[in-house]
Amino acid sequence: MTPDDLKPALLMLDDGACFAGRAVGAAAEAAGEVVFTTGMSGYQETLTDPSYFGQITVFTSAHIGNYGATPQDDEATAPQERRFGPCGAVFHDFFLPAEGFGKGAFPHWRAVSSLNDELARLGVTGICGIDTRALTLHLRRFGSRGGIISALDPDRASLLRRAKALPSMEGQDLAQHVTCPHSYAFRPKAGDALPGGPPAAGRKPFHVAVIDFGAKRSILLHLLRQNLEPTLWPAKASAYDILATRPDGVMLTNGPGDPAACSYAIETVRKLLGRVPLFGICLGHQLLGLAVGGKTDKLHFGHHGLNHPVKDVTTGRVAVTSQNHGFVVEPGSLPASARPTHWNLNDGSLEGLELTDAPAFSVQFHPEATPGTWDVWGLFDKFRALIEESK
* Catalytic (active-site) positions: 282, 366, 368
Residues contacting 287, CB < 8 A, separation 6+? 213, 252, 259, 262, 265, 266, 269, 280
Residue 157, Cβ density class (10 Å: 0-12 exposed, 13-18 middle, ≥19 buried): exposed
Count of C-beta atoms within a 10 Å radius of residue 207: 15
Contact 258, 172 (CB under 8 A): yes
Length of the chain: 391
Beta bridge partners of 120: none
Distance separating alpha carbons of residues 186 and 179, to the nearest angstrom: 14
Contact 158, 183 (CB under 8 A): no
User: Nearest Cα to 209, choosing from 260, 273, 277, 283?
Assistant: 277
Contact 343, 349 (CB under 8 A): yes
Backbone angles phi and psi of 370, in degrees to 5 = -125, 125
User: Nearest Cα to 112, choosing from 47, 46, 68?
Assistant: 68
Beta bridge partners of 34: 56, 145
